[in-house]
């Protein structure tokens, strides 16, 4: 792997930041890629209207500072001993801010937010779907940033745009970390619906379509490479920022999925199945999106681009949070496993997790969540079990779409993310897929991927293969013989009834 130079002997650590949907975390890794310090802070979720979700960018920035300082403190190391910082973030979530005061003009609009569905329907009706898919690899949906940015700019029509900057969360935090560098990487840019997947640059036609002035957008840079250094007043040292990746791409990197045939599934707020497709843009024709895996400048001075196919399912672990916080059926997310195991089946209950519409493979912004099949004998345990089963059925549908798009069927699924802790879910997933599900010891693959990328980019580590080979498998869930596939057909029937609801 091409590196940017050698680190000084005193640089013994890598700092990685994972700024996720539900919380922000920082990890300090040593040269053996072991975690020596970490910190986490949950992020406030704002729901101003049904289907809307916002984050406070100032809180994201303050919590970023807190988790960095706390993780470094826990590790009991000097900030000057950190060779590089890797940054991975929730994708698509975007904001605009005043470049003089540094103040956001509005809360960030989160990827799950559906407020721009009417604009998306309008674009579909106007016949833009094929052109947008061709240019960006994406399916028109409120999920991606372009319509969110349009919404924000429409709200502030009287503001002088020469004084406004726009960006996804990586760009916002990089700008604050460095005291004013306005950049992003190709993985995050590929999720805005404004980047051309072939040229890897902002697409002029799309900027015109969405009326986004190019000067408010960040410069797009390789995912592995120098973005700048942290302002010395923040941590007491200037730490080079040498990798930026969207969270799913960071997990792909962390799992070692660097070539065709390798894929991973992350079960976090949503579930994201991502398959590397090499240096080729693969078009699925089965409602999967084509996106950037990661990029790096090579020794010839040109760009190495890895592409990926992705099935994005918007709501999975978030349903467990909903069972805990809103329905109060469980006290902790982990309790869902014991509850599901208390019943022998789902009691005829099926759940559709369409809280924010449905992503792959339906892409229906108007679908809404539902329980089906409820009778007087249904217990809370059945509801919890139905929710976990639905998370697995969603992934099964996307694996089927990947298999339909490729000549080699998926043989094994590598997993990570909060909900992969759930043994019931993982076993059920293996049963319905009919293939082994492999869970690594290190579950925070996203943050690990950001650390690997930052360390490799700066020459702190030399071999990607060696880093990947060091990773250990904690458990393999083998498929059982009694996979309840007839239930899958019933679940699909339930999904159909939730489509075009709103
Ligand atoms: P994100 O990066 O999207 O913020 P995480 O990977 O941190 O998400 O995972 C958090 C999600 O995982 C939450 O939605 C939570 O409900 C879910 N989760 C955590 N533990 C479990 C568990 N044991 N069973 C099921 N879901 C879980």
The predicted model gives 302-331 an average pLDDT of: 95
Alpha-carbon separation of residue 331 from 327, 339, 381 (angstroms):
10, 11, 13
For the CA of 388, the nearest atom of ligand 1: 25
pTM (two decimals) = 0.92
Mutate which of 38, 320, 443 for ligand 1? The one with the most ligand atoms within 8 Å of its CB, which is 320
Of the candidates 18, 22, 1, 5, the residue with the CA atom closest to the CA atom of residue 318: 22
Q: Which residue carries 């590929």 as its tokens?
A: 190
- Residue at 138 is within a domain: yes
pLDDT of residue 7: 45
Per the CB < 8 A criterion, the answer to whether 145 and 120 are in contact is no
Helix, strand, or coil (residue 498): helix
Q: Is the CB of 142 under 6 A from ligand 1?
A: no
Residue 335 has pLDDT above 50, yes or no: yes
435 within 8 A of 476, measured Cβ to Cβ? no
Q: Give the number of the atom of ligand 1 that is nearest the alpha carbon of residue 21.
A: 4
Q: pLDDT at residue 267 above 50?
A: yes
Domain presence at residue 109 = yes
With 0-12 CB in 10 A as exposed, 13-18 as middle and 19+ as buried, what is 328?
A: exposed
**Beta-sheet strands, E only, within 208-258:** 219-221, 224-229, 240-246
pLDDT-based confidence at residue 301 (cuts at 50, 70, 90)? confident
**Domain annotation covers residue 309:** no
Distance CA 95, CA 121 (A): 22
Q: Which of 168, 297, 181, 172 lies closest to 238 in space, CA to CA?
A: 181
Give dist(CA 277, CA 443) in Å, integer: 24
335 lines ligand 1 (CB under 6 A): no
Least confident of 79-88, 275-284, 375-384: 275-284
Is ligand 1 within 6 A of the CB of residue 405? no
Q: Whose CA is nearest to atom 18 of ligand 1?
A: 419
* Residue 163 resides in a domain: yes
Average pLDDT taken over every residue of the chain: 94
The residue whose CA is least distant from atom 21 of ligand 1 is 419
Ligand 1 contacts CB of residue 492 (under 6 A): no
419 CA to centre of ligand 1 in angstroms: 4
Distance CA(48)–CA(494), nearest Å, equals 29
What pLDDT, on the 0 to 100 scale, is given for residue 393? 97
Tell me the CA–centroid distance for residue 378 and ligand 1, in Å: 26
267: CA distance to ligand 1 center in Å? Answer: 7
What's the 445 CA to ligand 1 centre distance in angstroms?
A: 13
Q: Are 358 and 496 in contact (CB under 8 A)?
A: no
- Check if 237 has its Cβ closer than 6 Å to any atom of ligand 1: no
Q: What angle do CA 44, 363, 500 make, to 5 degrees?
A: 95
Q: Of all protein residues, whose CA lies closest to atom 12 belonging to ligand 1?
A: 418
Q: Using CA positions, which residue lies closest to atom 7 of ligand 1? A: 418
pLDDT over 90 percentage in the chain: 89
pLDDT digits (tens, 9 = 90+) for 445-475: 999 999 999 999 999 999 999 999 999 999 9
Tell me which of 91, 248, 419, 440 to substitute to probe ligand 1's pocket, judged by most ligand atoms within 8 Å of the beta carbon.
419
Range among 9-23, 94-108, 351-365 with highest mean pLDDT value:
94-108
Map residue 492 onto helix, strand or coil: helix
The residue to which tokens 């791409």 are assigned: 249
> Does the C-beta of 418 come closer than 6 Å to ligand 1?
yes
Task: Give the number of domains in the chain.
Answer: 1
**Helix 117-125 vs helix 129-136: angle between axes, to the nearest 10 degrees?**
110
Please give the backbone phi and psi of residue 173, each rounded to the nearest 5 degrees, phi first: -75, -40
Residue 295 domain-assigned (yes or no): no
Q: Is residue 178 part of a domain?
A: yes
In a domain, 28, yes or no: yes
Ligand 1 and 353: CB distance under 6 A: no
- How far is the C-alpha of 12 from the C-alpha of 3, rounded, in Å? 17
How confident is residue 490, by pLDDT bands cut at 50, 70 and 90?
A: very high
- Look at residue 262 in the predicted model and tell me its pLDDT: 86
> Which domain range does residue 127 map to?
13-248
Instruction: Name the residue among 109, 371, 87 with its Cα closest to residue 247.
Output: 87
Partners of 398 in the β-ladder: none
- Ligand 1 centre to CA of 314 (Å) is 13
Nearest protein CA to atom 23 of ligand 1, as residue: 334
What pLDDT shows up at residue 411?
85
Kindly report, residue by residue over 406-434, the tens digit of the pLDDT: 777 888 899 999 999 999 999 999 999 99
Q: Are 389 and 429 in contact (CB under 8 A)?
A: no
- Test site for ligand 1: of 417, 418, 447, most ligand atoms within 8 A of the Cβ: 418
d(CA 261, CA 259): 6
Closest by Cα among 39, 42, 49 to 21: 42
Cβ neighbours for 330, distance < 8 A, ≥ 6 positions apart: 320, 323, 324, 336, 339, 384
Q: Is 321 in the pocket of ligand 1 (CB under 6 A)?
A: yes
Domain at 44, CATH number:
3.30.420.40
For residue 421 and ligand 1, the question of a CB distance below 6 A is answered with yes
Confidence of residue 9 (pLDDT cuts 50, 70, 90): very low
Residue 402 contacts residue 396 (beta carbons within 8 Å): no
Between 7 and 134, the more confident residue is 134
Ligand 1 site, residue 22, Cβ cutoff 6 A: yes
Q: Which helix (H) or strand (E) holds 17?
A: strand 13-19
What pLDDT shows up at residue 11? Answer: 75
Closest C-alpha among 84, 62, 81 to residue 5: 84
Distance 317 CA to ligand 1 centre (A): 5
Q: What are phi and psi of 93, to 5 degrees?
A: -60, 130
Lowest mean pLDDT among 9-23, 34-48, 154-168: 9-23
- In this predicted structure, the answer to whether residue 134 has a pLDDT above a threshold of 70 is yes
| pLDDT value at 8 more than 50 | no
Atom 19, ligand 1: which residue's CA is nearest? Answer: 418
How many angstroms does the Cα of residue 59 sit away from the middle of ligand 1? 21
3-state secondary structure 161-216: HHHEEEEEHHHHHHHHHHCCCCEEEHHHHCCCCCEECCCCEECHHHHHHHCCCHHH
322-338 mean pLDDT = 96
Decide if 154 is inside a domain.
Answer: yes
Give 108 Cα–ligand 1 centroid separation in angstroms.
Answer: 22
Q: Is the pLDDT of residue 167 over 80?
A: yes
């Amino acid at each position: 792997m091409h590196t940017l130079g050698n680190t000084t002997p005193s640089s013994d650590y890598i700092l990685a930041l994972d700024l996720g949907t539900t919380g922000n975390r920082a990890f300090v890794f040593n040269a053996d890629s072991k975690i020596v310090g970490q910190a986490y802070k949950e992020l406030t979720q704002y729901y101003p209207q049904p289907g809307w979700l916002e984050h406070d960018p100032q809180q994201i920035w303050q919590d970023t500072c807190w988790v960095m300082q706390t993780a470094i403190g826990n590790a009991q190391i000097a900030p000057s001993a950190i060779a590089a910082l890797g940054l991975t973030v929730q994708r698509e979530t975007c904001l605009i801010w005043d470049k003089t005061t540094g103040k956001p003009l509005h809360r960030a609009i989160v990827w799950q937010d559906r407020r721009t569905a009417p604009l998306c329907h309008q674009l579909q009706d106007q016949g833009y779907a094929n052109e947008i898919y061709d240019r960006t690899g994406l399916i028109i949906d409120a999920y991606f940033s372009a319509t969110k940015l349009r919404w924000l700019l429409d709200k502030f029509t009287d503001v002088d745009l020469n004084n406004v900057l726009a960006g996804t969360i990586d760009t916002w935090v990089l700008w604050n970390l460095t005291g004013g560098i306005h950049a992003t990487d190709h993985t995050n840019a590929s999720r805005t619906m404004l980047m051309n997947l072939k040229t890897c640059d902002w697409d002029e036609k799309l900027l015109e379509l969405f009326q986004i002035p190019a000067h408010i957008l960040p410069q797009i840079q390789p995912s592995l490479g120098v973005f700048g250094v942290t302002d010395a007043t923040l941590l007491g040292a200037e730490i080079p920022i040498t990798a930026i990746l969207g969270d799913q791409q960071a997990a792909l990197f962390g799992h070692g999925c660097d070539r065709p045939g390798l894929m991973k599934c992350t079960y976090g707020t949503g579930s994201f199945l991502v398959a590397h497709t090499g240096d080729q843009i693969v078009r699925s024709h089965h409602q999967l999106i084509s996106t950037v895996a990661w990029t790096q400048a090579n020794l010839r001075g040109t760009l190495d681009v890895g592409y990926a196919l992705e099935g994005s399912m918007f709501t999975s672990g978030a349903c467990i949070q909903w069972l805990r916080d809103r329905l109060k059926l469980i006290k902790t997310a982990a309790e869902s496993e014991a509850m599901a195991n208390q019943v022998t089946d789902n009691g005829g209950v099926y759940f559709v997790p369409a809280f924010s519409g449905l992503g792959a493979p339906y892409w229906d912004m108007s679908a809404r969540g539902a329980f089906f099949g409820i009778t007087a004998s249904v217990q809370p345990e059945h509801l919890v079990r139905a929710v976990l089963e639905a998370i697995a059925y969603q992934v099964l549908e996307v694996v089927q779409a990947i298999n339909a798009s490729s000549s080699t069927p998926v043989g094994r699924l590598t997993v990570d993310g909060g909900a992969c802790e759930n043994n019931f879910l993982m076993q059920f997933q293996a049963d319905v897929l009919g293939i082994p599900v492999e869970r690594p010891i290190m579950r925070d693959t996203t943050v690990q991927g950001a650390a690997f990328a930052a360390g490799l980019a700066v020459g702190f580590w030399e071999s990607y293969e060696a880093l990947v080979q060091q990773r250990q498998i904690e458990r393999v869930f083998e498929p059982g013989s009694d996979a309840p596939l007839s239930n899958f057909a019933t679940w699909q029937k339930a999904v159909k009834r939730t489509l075009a609801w709103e």
